[in-house]
Amino acid sequence: MLNYFTPALYLKSYEDLDPAWLVRRKIRLLILDIDNTLAAHDEQVAGDKAKAFVHRLKDAGIQAVVMSNNNKERVSRFAASLDVPYYYFSTKPLKRTYKKVLRDTGLKPDQCAVIGDQLLTDILGGSRMGLTTILTTPLVTRDIPWTKLNRVVENQVYRLLEHEEILKRGDYDE
């Protein structure tokens, strides 16, 4: 069961992801979480670093899409600032939107990766679909109320992962 919460790669920030790592694994699409992964939940558009990151992905031949549990207005505005397709109210970790992304792109799960800051949404959802999962540390400590609740449960999962010597919070992959 803990394997569903175990990312393939654990990084401090999305900026630490080398597109060559994805290319070596034949990943053709990276699904990007927004809130606390690429930007704080109250930042309306992508910053220069996030734009540069998406540009590096595209230069490496990797498509990018934004997939968020947030509302259409928030997600569409943010995705437009990155010039990428988007999926809003994704209900991660449920499979529905992941399946839609695969249908829309014509890709198979082993050709896709997901990057996000939450074990209970991004990593669990991606793992359930057979995608390569990449966990980052949340950009900021402030969260919306629903995410605060998720973090309480997530802390318990982190404790189990650490107890089983699978993943230690803050012990990043290189």
Q: What is the pLDDT along the chain (174 residues), one digit of tens a residue?
A: 799 999 999 999 999 999 999 999 999 999 999 999 999 988 999 999 999 999 999 999 999 999 999 999 999 999 999 999 999 999 999 999 999 999 999 999 999 999 999 999 999 999 999 999 999 999 876 665 666 677 788 889 999 999 999 999 999 997
pLDDT at position 65 is: 98
Predicted TM-score of the model (pTM): 0.94
End-to-end CA distance of the chain, in Å? 25
CATH number of the domain encompassing residue 34: 3.40.50.1000
Q: Looking at the chain, which runs of residues are DSSP E strands?
A: 9-11, 29-32, 63-67, 86-87, 112-116, 132-136
User: Domain limits at 154?
Assistant: 2-163
Structural domain total, the chain: 1
Residue 171 lies in a domain: no
pLDDT at position 169 is: 92
Residue 111 lies in a domain: yes
Residue 173 lies in a domain: no
